[in-house]
Structures are given as structure tokens and as C-alpha cells.
Homo-oligomer: A and B are copies of this chain.
Amino acid sequence: MTTRTVAALAALALALSLAPAHAEDLPLSPNGVKTLAPEGAIKSTGTWNLGTRAGDFVYVAGMRGIDPKTNTLVEGDQARVRQAFLNMKLIAESEGASLRDAVRIVVYVTDMYRYRPLVNKAQEELWGKGPYPPRTIIEVDRLNQDDICEVEGTFYAPVKK
């Protein structure tokens, strides 16, 4: 095999491993928890998924500023923080919840002084005049991939009866 062939095969293997898990592929849990994998969202490639719906609530995993198009981190601190919120938004919206329907968010940053203002700015842009959700923001030692910000949101989206 030429180096070129090897590279092509590696790219193919990568593409396959990153193939989107379609929601319809994921079975309901015994008690009826729905695992979320909406189109356009980042891909979960490990022992976790993007979100769930259970009853009237939608739970989104901690989201970071990963570009769904490339599955790599967005460049630029402000843009990356904004992307983390956009990733959360897309998953929530796939179940009929807007950012305004967040019941709480928890924000993890690796530098309170440096990144909290960026979080505030991203929220101002995305929530507009609000009301904003309850927020807990803490500075932690480290995030996965040595990232700078992660946001975890819980949403309310009552099932139509």
C-alpha cells in the first residue's frame, strides 16, 4: 500500500467512526428515556451522548465550543464560548425547547476572571433581554481537551398531550 492509500483509508475510517448516530438508531431505555442525537449536532464518540429527554425535561451533556462541521474546537475564546452555548441550543431545540426554556445552567470555566465576562457576553447575545436562567458558575482545574468553558443545561419541554 502506498502512503497515499494508507492516508485515504485512515481518513475513511475516521469518517466512519465520526458518522452521526441517528436518533432512530438509539433505543429507548427500559423506562422510556430517549437519547438525543439530532442532525447538525456535534458527534459523541465516547462513552456518553449529547442529551436525553425524560418526561417533560430535556437534559443536555456539558457542551464545549466544538464546531459540529469539523468536530474540532473553535478558534478564539469568545467564539468558542459562544459555540458551546450554540451546541447546547441546537440539542435543546431538537426537542422543542428554546434557550428561554432552560430551567438551570451550570457553567464551568478554567479562569473565572478571564472567561466569566465572555460567558456573560455570549448569554447577552443569545438570550437578548432575558429572562436569563438560574446559573451556577465555577472555576475548575481542568476540562476535557484542556478546554476553557463548558456549559450544562436542563430544559423544560412538556410533552404535548
Binding site for B on A (CB under 8 A): 21, 26-27, 29-33, 35, 44, 46-52, 54-57, 59-62, 96-98, 100-104, 106, 108, 110, 112, 116, 119-120, 123-124, 127, 130-144, 150, 152, 154-158
Contacts and interface: CB of A to CB of B under 8 A. Distances in A.
A48 B101 contact: no
A134 B50 contact: yes
Grouping DSSP codes into helix (H, G, I), strand (E, B) and loop, the A interface class, with mixed when no group exceeds half, is mixed
B132 A152 contact: no
Q: Which 10 A-B pairs have the closest CB atoms?
A: A62-B136, A61-B134, A54-B156, A139-B142, A48-B135, A47-B123, A35-B131, A59-B104, A29-B100, A139-B141
Contact of A52 (B31, B49, B103, B106): B103
